[in-house]
Amino acid sequence: MDLLKKKIQDEGKVLSESVLKVDSFLNHQIDPILMQKIGEEFAARFADAGITKILTIESSGIAPATMTGLVLGVPVIFARKRKSLTLTDHLYSAEVYSFTKKETSEISVSKDFITSDDVVLMMDDFLANGQAALGLLSIAEQAKAKVAGVGIVIEKGFQNGSSQIRERGFNVESLAIIESLADGQVTFKEEVVSR
Ligand code: G4P
C-alpha cells in the first residue's frame, strides 16, 4: 500500500536494526485519513471472506480495526491486556509473551462477543514475532469461531511472525512488509499481488 509506505518513509524513525518508531500516525498520534484508507484496503482484501467480527488487541490495533469494521459493517472487539473492573469471568484468555518487552501478559475477551457462528478477521498494527496474533488465534479457537485470516498494518518481514502464522494455515495480509531496518534505512519487501 503505497500511501502507507510513503508515510513510513517520511515519518518513521529507525530506532535500531529491529525497531521502527511510527508514533506520529499509528502508535500514539493517529492519522484518521490514513486509517480510513487502511480500513478500505483491508475490507477489499477480505471482501469475499464472509467476516462477521474483527478481533484486535489494545491499544494500537484498535484504530485500523475500527476503520476496517466500519467499511465491512461488522463489530470490532479488542482483547484486553489488563484486567477490567467489569470483565472478570466468562472469558476466553491467552498468554502472550513479548520478545520486545520480555514480559508475558494475559489477554482476554468476553465469551459474549465471539461465538462458533462467527467468521473472525484478526488484526494488529505490527507483526513481529507473532505472539500477539497467535494469542488472538487461540481465543478464536477457544470460541470455535472460523478464522478468515490475519490483517497486519506493518509486518517486520525479518522476524518470524508471519511464517509462524502461515505454517498454521492462516492467510496473512500485510499492507507494508519491511525487509530490513539496517543502516537506519527502511527497506520494503517487493510486493507480490495475490488478488
Ligand atoms: P509480537 O506480538 O509480534 O510477537 O511482537 P512483540 O512482542 O515483539 O511486540 C510487542 C509490542 O511491540 C506490540 O505492541 C507490538 O505491536 C510492538 N512492536 C513490535 N515491533 C515494533 C516496532 O518495530 N515498532 C513499533 N512501533 N512497535 C513494535 P504493544 O506493546 O501491544 O503496544 P500497543 O499496541 O499498546 O501500542
Domain extents in the chain: 2-188
* Torsion angle (degrees, nearest 10) of CA 62, 66, 69, 71: -140
Please tell me the predicted confidence (pLDDT) of residue 87: 65
Cα-to-chain-centroid distance, residue 136 = 10
Please tell me the predicted confidence (pLDDT) of residue 190: 82
Please tell me the predicted confidence (pLDDT) of residue 4: 98
Please tell me the predicted confidence (pLDDT) of residue 193: 55
Low-confidence ranges of the chain (pLDDT < 50): 195
Please tell me the predicted confidence (pLDDT) of residue 162: 95
Closest atom of ligand 1 to 124 CA is 16
- The helix/strand/coil state of 173 is strand
Contact 32, 195 (CB under 8 A): no
160 annotated as a binding-site residue: no
71: alpha, beta or left? (left if phi > 0; alpha if psi -120 to 50) = alpha
- The helix/strand/coil state of 14 is strand
Cα-to-chain-centroid distance, residue 25 = 15
Q: Select from 21, 82, 126 the residue to mutate for testing ligand 1; criterion: most ligand atoms less than 8 Å from CB.
A: 126
Burial 141-171 (b: 16+ CB within 10 A, else e): eebebebbbbbbbbbbbbbebbebbeeeebb
Please tell me the predicted confidence (pLDDT) of residue 101: 83
27 annotated as a binding-site residue: yes
Query: Any idea which architecture 2-188 has in CATH?
Result: 3-Layer(aba) Sandwich (3.40)
Q: Report the half-sphere exposure of 26 (CA within 13 A, side-chain side).
A: 21
Q: Select from 56, 60, 100 the residue to mutate for testing ligand 1; criterion: most ligand atoms less than 8 Å from CB.
A: 100
Share of the chain above pLDDT 90, in %: 90
Residues 6 or more apart whose Cβ sits within 8 Å of residue 166: 172
Residues in the chain: 195
pTM score of the predicted model? 0.94
